Structure formats: C-alpha cells, structure tokens
Structure 1
C-alpha cells in the first residue's frame, strides 16, 4: 500500500505541475515573452559558475507535455508493475529520467545540456537492464555505447565553444551563422542528435531498447529520450537552413523513415512494431526540421508524444493479459474480450495514420502539404509520401492481426478490461489524442495557415493513406504464404525485417573485427615475440645465472684452490720469463 500511495502522490504532483506549466506557456505565447534566469552557483574571487535557464513558450509547453505523459505513465505503473518487489526503485528511476529531460529542455547552455543529456543516457541504461536478463543486458549495452558517440560529439562541441568565451550557444547562433567554428559545432550537434534520435546509421538501439518495461517504453518513445535530439536541433535550427548538414540530414532521416516503415511490415513483435513506428515518425520530424520548418517539427513532436504513449500503454495492457506474450500471431479477436483497451488502441493507431480530425492529422497533413508546396526533388518527395503510406500499411496490419479473427493463444488466458487504474491512464491520453492536435494548431500557429494546392496534390495525402491501408490489408492476407513459398522472399523479408541488417552491423560487424584483431595481438605479440623476447627470455636467463651461482657456491673450496694454483702458475711463469 505504501508503494501505491507513492505512485499516487507522484502522479498528482506531476499532473499539477503539467497543468501549471501549460497555463504559463499560454501566458508566454499571448505576451510573446522569453525569460532568461541566471543562478550563480559558485563565486570565488574573479571566477563564477552561473547556471542559465531559458523559459519561453516552447520549453514550457514541451515540459508540460513531458510531465503530463510521465504522470499518467507512473499512475499506469501502479497496476502494471504491481508484482514488482522494487517498484519504489522503478518510480525513482522514472523521476530521475524526467528530471534529466527537464534540465535539457530549459538549458540554453551546452554544459547544462550535457548534464541532462548524460543523465538521460545513464538512467535509460538502468531502465533498459531493469529485468536483469541476458537480452536486456545486451540491449542496454548497445543503447549505452551507441549513445556515447553522441555524448563525445557534444563534448567536442563544448570544447569548440571555447572560441566564443561562453557556452551559452543561443547568444551566438544568429550572428555566427556563417562562422567556421559555428559550422563545426553544428556538425557535432547534428551527430549527437542523430545518435539520440536513432537516425541511420545509429538506428539499431531503438528496437533493442524494447527490453525495458512497457511503461518505460511509453515514456522513452513518446516525449523523453528519443525526442531530446529533435529538441536540440530545433534550438540549433538556424544552422540547418541552406547548409550541407541540412541536406545530408534530410537524406538520412528520409532513409530512416523509409527503412523503419518497411521493417515494421515484416515484424511480428507487438512492441517492436510500435518502436519502428517511433523511428519512422522521428525520421519525419528530422526531415521537416532539416527543411527549416522547426515549428512544424515541434508541433508533430507534441502530437506524436501523446498518441505514441497511448499506443505503448495499450500494448502493455494487451501483453499483460496475454501472459507476457508479444507475438502478433498469437493474438486475435481482442476487440471482443478487451473492448475499452481496443478502442484506445484503435484511436492511437488512427491518430498515427493521420485520420482526419485526430491529433496526428493536424501535424502530418500540414507537413505533407508544406512539402508539396516546397522546392523538393522527386526522391525526397517520394520518401515523404511513400513512408506515410507505409505507416498506414503497418498500422492496419497491426489492427488486422490483433483485433480481427479468433484468439490464437491458450484458452486458459483470461482476457478482460478490469485493470481500472491502467484504463484511467489510457483514457486520459485517448482524450488528448483526439483533441490535442486542434488545440495545439491554434496555439502554435497564431495566424491561420491556408495552403493552396492543385486538387490532386491536395488529396495526395489522403490517397497515399488509402493506398497504404489497402496494401497493408493485402500484406496481412498473403505475407505468410509468400515467406513459406519462396526462399528468395524469405531473404527479402529477413533483409527488410532486420532494418537492412543494421543490428548485425552494429554488433557483430564491429565486434567481430576488433575481437579478431585482439586475438592476433594476443597470439603474436603478448604470447609471441613479446613473450619470447621479454618475460620468458628473462626468466630463462635468470635460471641460468642462478644455476651458475648455485654451482659456484656448492664448490667454493675447489674453486678457491683452483684459483690459488692458477695464481701460483702465473707467478712462476712470470718469474721464469723475467
């Protein structure tokens, strides 16, 4: 009961904080306010350490969404993690995670950003390995090591910021836009953001992080860890406009979106499909951000956070009822047994697909119409729209396998909607998934946006979504037939289903060569020439010297007499020849 009350207290506190921050963000939007708060931590002689905090409508609104989702996740965990003996430790880790994200959001300073950034990395490792098994340890190590690349890039950016005399990057972005040092800092920040937001070639850690408990996945994949890179680039957006970095990021994020959308259509693990959809949406945010539309990226970031957290919560409730089975092929007919959970799941899925007048529609439709209006080459345009079609495709496939047909698992499973605490958390997010898109579109874009396009381009988004849905239905019906019939199709599904072999390249591809190199060094150097010429040779010489010394000491009288005879002989010979 003590743990349940801790969950409830944290939920109420975070919810109140979220509401107050949201109201503050409205006040800041209406009055166009930006506050910089400086806190002098240490002052010693002429040296002072000052922490700077940035409060504007963007940071306040993002913080309110993070706190809202984390409060509902903690409330949801109250029942989901009820059998866990260490739920108190789990709640503490989640709160540390949220605090690290808060620090990152309100920091205009690279040093304090690094504190939040590394806090996210460290706590995410602790949460990924929470279940203490081999799979989670491997996933945690992959997550930690790939994110270290971005941490090192951020450290190098901090070192280069010394050229400006301060680490408050926000003061220098405008007038140092074309400066070489600032360009290099921008490249390093883009690299850091790519690792944290899992863009190609750093994508393999995101599906692996599914080893964490489902409430953690709901938090990580919606508003905290993976969005940290997006948020950092939103702050550095000036450096991406009309630059080589922006063009490269546009290509890589487009390929990430395309790759994850294809991979999700070949996947049968419920949580991995939702993880790959997160990767797809991160690619979409990165693409529109690298084109210079940072407000659109932020808008989609907030709407996506709500329905993605809801998707993971519903997936957690389904997995909970299915005796911890995550295989889609064992599900079926869940809408009959779990109607409320299925309703929330379908609302989140439709919001993800961009169903008109749900949260995802307002941001995705606007993004695709802006792309149609922009000067964009055919390849990038194809990546945008085809990947959107793939989103609808795997979403419909997910619904087809889980909601329709008959239940394929054990008849002893008791499926029900009686987990009221989990349902309350999900219903709160379902309301947000319905209404947040329209509310945010009124708040973020104060002047109404009207995009005039030709008839076919205007309906292109809807057409692509419908075609994607049809394609998803066809894949659901015939994909198993294809895989079983042809070996070539099996290899094709293996290639697309394993994210273009990226997890293998990130693990075996790197470890294999380094381990072989280590074996050769050990064999030829440590246990080879180094051993022969070094310690072994010294050991043999010492043995020879000690044996000689031992012989001399055992025959010391004989040696003495022999030397005396030799001395007398030399003396006699000397006297004769004299």
Structure 2
C-alpha cells in the first residue's frame, strides 16, 4: 500500500524531470509561453491570472520539485515517529505549490498569492514542534515577512495608475517614469525581507525551529530564494535606480556578517542557516551589479548542495540523540561514513572546490566582480566573505570528523539505521557533483573570456586557502576558548557571534516595543478616552438623558405641576430682565 510520502515523491520526481526537459527545450529554442486569464475588472483595470512559462521558470520549477521529492522521501523515515506525518507532508506540498505559483507569475497580483502562501505555510511549519521557542521563532518570521507583504500591497496599489499589473511590460519605463522607480523600490524592500538581508536577517536563523526536512526545503530553493527570484525578474531596473546601490551595500554587509557569525556558532543547523544567509547576500550583490543570469546560475547550484547539507545535518542530529551542538559530535566518519561523505561533498561544493557545483558559479562571480565597476569596500567584503565561507566550512568538518567523539558511551550512531535517509541524500549528492557543469553548459554555451591580472585571477584560490587555514586553527578548542575568554575582545566576539545584535534589536525593539506601544494605546484610547468621549461615552450620556425625559413623561400630575411652575418662573425672570 502506497503512503502519501511515496506517492508525493514519485509524482514530484517525474514532474521535475518533465519540467527540466521542457526548460532545456525552451532555452535552446528561445521560446516561451504567456497565458492570461481575466478574472474580473475594477475601474477598467483587469485583474488577470497570468502564467509565464519560459526557460527560467521551467528550470527553477524542476529544481524545486526535485529537491522537494528528495526531502519528502527523506521525511518518510525522519518523521516516521510523528503521528501526524500526513499533515506534515500536506503542509510541505502546499509550500511547494505556493513557490510554483510565485515562479510562474509575471503579474504582481498573482505573485501575491504565492508570496502570502509562502509566508502562511512557513509559519505553520516553523511552529510545527509546539513549544515556546518555536512559537517565538514563528512570530519573528511572520512579522518580519509582513513588512515585505505590505510593500507588495503598496506596489499593487501604485500600479493601479498603469491600468494593469503585468509589471514585465513597464520595466523599460523606469528611466522616464518616477512611479516605476517607486514600485521597483517597494519590490526591492519586499525581496530584502523575504531573503533576510540586513536589517531583516534575524528571522532566518530563528526559523531553524522547524523540522530539518523543512529547513532543507526552505533554505535551498523555496522561501528565502523567493526574493532573489523576484529581483531576477526585476533585474532590468536594479542598476538604474538608487535603491539598487543601497541593496548592493546591504547585501555585501549581510554576506560578511553571516560568514563572521558562522565562525562563532556551535549549533549545527544555525551554522548552515548562516551559510545560507551569506550565499543570499552574494546572490543579491551580483544581482545589484546587473548580472542576473549569473545570480540565477548560483541560485540553482546553491540549492543543490545546501539541501544536501541540511539533510546530512538532520541524519547526524537523528543519530547522535537529537543534539545540535557540534561540540557533542566528532569522529563520525568512523560510524556514519556515507552521511559524512555526502556532507563533505556539500561542504566542498559550498567552498567552491573545482569541478563541484559551487565552483562553476562562485568562481565566475568572483572573476566578473573583479572586472566590474564596484568600489574597494564591496570588493574587500566579497573576497573576505569568500574566505570566511571556507573558514567555517573547514571548522564544521573538523568538529564532525577530526576531533574525538564526545557524546554518550552507549549510542546507536550509524548509517545502517537510516537507509531511507541515506538514499535521499545520495540522490542530492549526484546532482551536487554534476549539476554545476551541466547547468554551465546549458546557460553559457559560448564561454566568455575573462582576462584578469594574475593576482586577481588567483585571488579566489588565495583567500580560500587562507580561510581554510584560519578555520583549521580556530577549530582547536583551546584556541576558541582563549579567544572568547579575553575580556578585551568580549564585546567584539559577542557582537560577531550574535549577528551584530540583530536578533535583540529585531525582537526587543522592532517587535516587542511596537506591540507594547499598541497595547498601551489600546488601554489609553480604545478602552480609556474613547469610552468617555467616543461612541460609548455619547451612548451613556444619551441613555441617562433619556431616563430623565422618560421620568418627565410619566404623566404624573405632581411632576407636571413642578415642571410647569419652574417653566413659569423662568419665563417671568426672562421678561423681568428684558
């Protein structure tokens, strides 16, 4: 009997292969399909459900579906103890459907459907393990992403002036129309929240409260890449407007901050999450320079090895007794050789090891950046962050493989307990090795000549070697302890290890403070002055006045005589004064 996991896995896997073939045919043939369905019309502006099927959407959908199929197959064993595993798989399928709606939409109204679907389902998945930590992480994720949702809604309202919401037709008017500049700036703000750029970076490591298969899906090809993909569609305007320059600086700082923070982190999943944040900064940075196809290339290759990294991390956490502290691990190469082999392949691909998936995109990005117009600060942040990537990758590999095992004496760590998970990882490892070369052949059939001086050409290799050496030195526990125990460096170590205090600023000042002020406003105004001088106060005054009127209208003779006497006295006084 087929379970919902197996049926979903087979269906998504076959669909991904179909979409990849269609994408290659569309890429080689130069064709695309544009489908419109007019739902209704408001003030002569038609609300249209639009579908754009070109090579970019086909290939991205195939990657999303392939990674989703492997994640669902992996979840068949990882979540087998969960009584509600069918509900979990349905949530994952809704997540994938929302991402596909976002990918195929060139219309900003139909984009909102997938955009909000991602936000809602991601909240449900982050709070899947029902505890206080998950609820706090889910609220931080939801409220941070609401800023981007509001920006999309404002862009929709502003585009009402155009008479249509198909933004692809208006991108060329950005130089002559200030309204398109404003709309593009709002879209950039929305993409910054969804892809967790500074100052919205705090929610991405917090979203690690979700189950590990969800983290593999979220951090590789769905939620966090939605902002990058949207900006790839808006890439024509990024170089032209001022907000694109701001994005270039913020994405470079995000890449540097995340790479620095990962070197001070001991939580296995958070290290990989900060790695994702660093790579998102790299994609946003290369997008701001106008190289959208290169950013899309790195987006695809990064999705392959990052999903593999998370699945390996889940298998390790599953094996060592559900702990995520890398100091409690070590010498796992002897007990989980296949899992550690997959993890090291993904780590090497992340570092840009030649002929793995990450090499083809990262090396090209560094070389094209060396040829571009960026200033010295951005250039330094790019190469220094590349060195930091190798640094935390070597540190992670050392903690998992090099040091001695530091967990329980009696344990059941091994690959033979989780063959289903190993098969899911192997399916991703094959594409993490071959995916980069295959994509480079299709996306860049005519290779460009990158001519650089020898010191720039060797720059990527030099910073990688230096970063790996520093990471190996920092891996020794005494070196880490001596660094953190120095009082002179305590502030800088705590700042670097806590993402420049962004989680504290995001929770205490950007979320709790407005919520507290809203509560005080409700007490003072809605439940205070509004009760006295608002609608409720007027109601009380009118009610008490109507009681007096009713008393005077009871037709009692004594009351009638009293009011008549008072009225007569009042009239006499009036006449006497006149």
Q: Same fold (TM over 0.5)?
A: yes
Q: Does structure 2 retain, via aligned residues, the 8 Å contact 1:362–1:437?
A: yes
CA drift at 1:495: 1.1
Whole-angstrom distance in 1 between the partners of 2:147 and 2:183: 15
Name the SS of the counterpart of 2:49 in structure 1: strand
After superposition, what is the alpha-carbon deviation per residue over 1:23-64, rounded to whole angstroms, capped at 9, x for unaligned?
Answer: 1111111111121122345699x9965322111111100000
The structure with the largest alpha-carbon Rg is: 1
Kindly indicate whether residue 507 of structure 2 is the aligned counterpart of residue 500 of structure 1. Answer: no
After superposition, what is the alpha-carbon deviation per residue over 1:303-322, rounded to whole angstroms, capped at 9, x for unaligned?
Answer: 00000000000000000001
Q: Does structure 2 retain, via aligned residues, the 8 Å contact 1:136–1:211?
A: yes
**Which piece of structure 1 moves more, 22-31 or 383-392?**
22-31
- TM normalised by structure 2 equals 0.90
**Which piece of structure 1 moves more, 491-500 or 507-516?**
507-516
Aligned to 1:480: 480
CA drift at 1:431: 0.8
Aligned to 1:423: 422
After superposition, what is the alpha-carbon deviation per residue over 1:504-536, rounded to whole angstroms, capped at 9, x for unaligned?
Answer: 111112345446645765787788878899999
Aligned to 1:17: 15
Task: Identify unmatched segments of 5+ residues in structure 2.
Answer: 570-578
- CA distance change for structure 1 residues 510 and 360 in 2, over 3 Å: closer, same or farther? same
- Within 5 Å, which residues of 2 pair with 1:164-243? 164-243=162-241
After superposition, what is the alpha-carbon deviation per residue over 1:180-233, rounded to whole angstroms, capped at 9, x for unaligned?
Answer: 111000000000000000000000000000000000000000000000000000
Aligned to 2:144: 146
Aligned to 1:163: 161
Aligned to 2:133: 135
Q: Does structure 2 retain, via aligned residues, the 8 Å contact 1:10–1:74?
A: yes
Whole-angstrom distance in 2 between the partners of 1:523 and 1:502: 30
Whole-angstrom distance in 1 between the partners of 2:200 and 2:126: 17
Aligned to 2:451: 452
Among 295, 298, 302, the residue aligned to 2:296: 298
Among 111, 122, 125, the residue aligned to 1:124: 122
Q: Does structure 2 retain, via aligned residues, the 8 Å contact 1:161–1:167?
A: yes
Whole-angstrom distance in 2 between the partners of 1:284 and 1:372: 14
Whole-angstrom distance in 1 between the partners of 2:427 and 2:400: 23
Name the SS of the counterpart of 2:172 in structure 1: coil
Query: How many pairs are equivalent?
Result: 556
CA drift at 1:177: 4.1
- CA distance change for structure 1 residues 14 and 486 in 2, over 3 Å: closer, same or farther? same
Name the SS of the counterpart of 1:51 in structure 2: strand
- Within 5 Å, which residues of 2 pair with 1:517-528? 517=517
Whole-angstrom distance in 2 between the partners of 1:94 and 1:528: 45
Q: Does structure 1 retain, via aligned residues, the 8 Å contact 2:46–2:163?
A: no
- Within 5 Å, which residues of 2 pair with 1:329-408? 329-408=327-406
Kindly indicate whether residue 60 of structure 2 is the aligned counterpart of residue 62 of structure 1. Answer: yes
Aligned to 2:576: none
- Within 5 Å, which residues of 2 pair with 1:322-333? 322-333=320-331
CA drift at 1:129: 0.6
Aligned to 2:99: 101
Q: Does structure 2 retain, via aligned residues, the 8 Å contact 1:192–1:229?
A: yes
Whole-angstrom distance in 2 between the partners of 1:261 and 1:70: 27
Q: RMSD in angstroms over aligned alpha carbons? A: 2.9
Task: Identify unmatched segments of 5+ residues in structure 1.
Answer: 551-555, 571-578
Name the SS of the counterpart of 1:325 in structure 2: coil
Whole-angstrom distance in 2 between the partners of 1:26 and 1:518: 53
After superposition, what is the alpha-carbon deviation per residue over 1:316-354, rounded to whole angstroms, capped at 9, x for unaligned?
Answer: 000000111000100000111100000000000000000
Whole-angstrom distance in 2 between the partners of 1:283 and 1:276: 11
- CA distance change for structure 1 residues 412 and 58 in 2, over 3 Å: closer, same or farther? same
Whole-angstrom distance in 2 between the partners of 1:407 and 1:185: 54
Whole-angstrom distance in 1 between the partners of 2:377 and 2:411: 48
Aligned to 1:268: 266
Whole-angstrom distance in 1 between the partners of 2:45 and 2:404: 71
CA drift at 1:452: 1.1
